[in-house]
Amino acid sequence: MHPRREDEGRPLQIIAHRGGSAHAPENTFAAFENAIAMGVRGIEFDLRMSADKEIFVIHDTTLDRTTTGSGLIAETPAAEIRKLDAGSWFAPEFRGEPVPLFDDVLARYDGRIALHIEIKDDSAELAQIVAGKIIAAEAFERCWVTSFHPGVHAALRACSKDLRLAYVMRKRTVESVETLRAADVQMVCPHALEITPDLVEIYHAAGFLVRTWGVKGDADLLRQISTLGIYGSTFSDLKAALEIVSPA
C-alpha cells in the first residue's frame, strides 16, 4: 500500500499559471496578488538567471515579449532588468510593474501561498542557486521546484533531500514510474491531455502526487480532471476554473 498522499480526500487545487496570466501581466506581483485575492492557494511562475547571476521571475529566454527591454536575459545585467516595465504590454493600468526577483517573491509570500517554481533553463548552476535560496529561507514546505530537465532534478536533489521536486512532462510524453523514481521527485506533472484514470492510479500507487498543466479554456477537460482525485492543475484563466472547481 502506498503512503498517504497530501492530495487524498481534497478537491482539485487550482494553481495560478504564471500568476493567472489571463487577468494580469504574467509573472508579476500584480498577477500574484490578484490570484490570492481570487482565492487560490498556489501560484506557478518561471525563473531565469541574469548575466550576473541574479534570479528573476520571467518565462522567456528574452526580455522582448513581456518587458520594455530586449535581448537575452542571460546576457543582461540585473541592474538593467530592474529598470524595465513588465506590465504595460498587458494593459496601461499595469505600467511600472517590475520583473520580480525570486528573493523578493520568497520574502513577500512567506506563509501566504504555495509557490510552484519552474526552472526554465537546463542549468545545474541555476538549480543550485534556487535551492540555496529555498534552504536559506527554510521554505521547504511552501515550495515545489519543477522542471522538464533531469539534470536540474539531479542538481536540486544533490543540494537537499528535503526539497519538494516535481517532474514536468512534455506534451505527448508520459514518464515511467522507474524514470520518476530515478529522478527522486515527489510530484509528477503530465500534460492535461495525457492524463487518464489509469495513469493516475499508476502514479498514486507509486506514491506520487499528480499535478497537470496545459488546460486552456476547455471546460469539459477541466471537469474531467476535477474528478480524478489529483493534487491540482495550473490555470491561466482563474475565473473560468473557479466557476467549475471550488478552491482547495
**The predicted structure's pLDDT at residue 1:** 36
Whether 86 is in a domain gets the answer yes
**The predicted structure's pLDDT at residue 245:** 83
Phi/psi at 206 (5° precision): -85, -5
Whether 8 is in a domain gets the answer no
**The predicted structure's pLDDT at residue 218:** 77
Whether 134 is in a domain gets the answer yes
Whether 4 is in a domain gets the answer no
- Annotation marks residue 17 as catalytic: yes
Range of the domain at 123: 13-244
- Using the structure block, give the residue that is written with the C-alpha cell 498577477: 31
* Number of domains composing the chain: 1
Whether 6 is in a domain gets the answer no
Catalytic residue among 17, 23, 149, 204: 17
| Cell numbers standing for residue 5 | 498522499
**The predicted structure's pLDDT at residue 52:** 98
- Annotation marks residue 204 as catalytic: no
**The predicted structure's pLDDT at residue 129:** 98
Catalytic residue among 23, 59, 116, 153: 59
Whether 1 is in a domain gets the answer no
CATH number of the CATH domain containing 135: 3.20.20.190
Q: Which residues contact 56 (CB under 8 A, 6 or more apart)?
A: 47, 48, 49, 50, 73, 78, 81, 99, 100, 101, 102
Tell me: pLDDT of 56 over 60. Answer: yes
Tell me: pLDDT of 171 over 80. Answer: yes
Residue 89 burial by Cβ neighbours in a 10 Å radius (0-12, 13-18, 19+): middle
| Cell numbers standing for residue 56 | 528573476
pLDDT, tens only, 78-90: 999 999 999 999 9
Residue 202 is which amino acid?
Answer: I
pLDDT, tens only, 34-45: 999 999 999 999
Tell me: pLDDT of 4 over 60. Answer: no
Q: Which residues contact 24 (CB under 8 A, 6 or more apart)?
A: 30, 31, 34, 90, 94
Whether 3 is in a domain gets the answer no
**pTM confidence score:** 0.94
pLDDT level of residue 9 (50, 70, 90 thresholds): low
**The predicted structure's pLDDT at residue 244:** 87
d(CA 183, CA 149): 10
Whether 109 is in a domain gets the answer yes
pLDDT, tens only, 19-33: 999 999 999 999 999
Tell me: pLDDT of 7 over 70. Answer: no
Q: Which residues contact 86 (CB under 8 A, 6 or more apart)?
A: 25, 27, 28, 58, 66, 67, 68, 97, 98, 99
